[in-house]
Amino acid sequence: MSRLTSERRPISVLALSKSLKIPLETTRRHLNALISEGSCIRASGGVIVPSALLAGPAHTHGAASANARRLVRDLATTGVTPD
């Protein structure tokens, strides 16, 4: 585990379930899939996203793209359209 990953605190499955307001078993099932694909790792006290994944260009580009699409969609629902 990298130094940056070890400095962040893991979140428990129960805390994540409550935060997302979805059933515990659903949260556990989704986390197991994310762990299998390497998007999360098990840590003492819960799960954590690896630092390398957060620092990678795919994560930052994907998040920025998703945020931009959401902004355009939200603006369109209010009647604002891009030129």
> Whose CA is closest to 16, among 28, 34, 4?
28
- Rounded average pLDDT over 43-66: 74
What pLDDT, in 10s, does the model give residues 62-81? Answer: 666 676 777 777 777 777 66
Q: Taking residues 3-24, report their average pLDDT.
A: 80
User: In terms of DSSP H, where are the helices of the chain?
Assistant: 3-7, 13-20, 24-36, 51-55, 57-77
With beta carbons less than 8 A apart as the criterion, state whether 51 and 66 touch.
no
pTM strictly above 0.75: no
Distance of CA 19 to the CA centre of its chain: 13
What whole-number distance in Å separates Cα of residue 73 and Cα of residue 79? 10
Domains and CATH numbers, the chain: 3-77 (1.10.10)
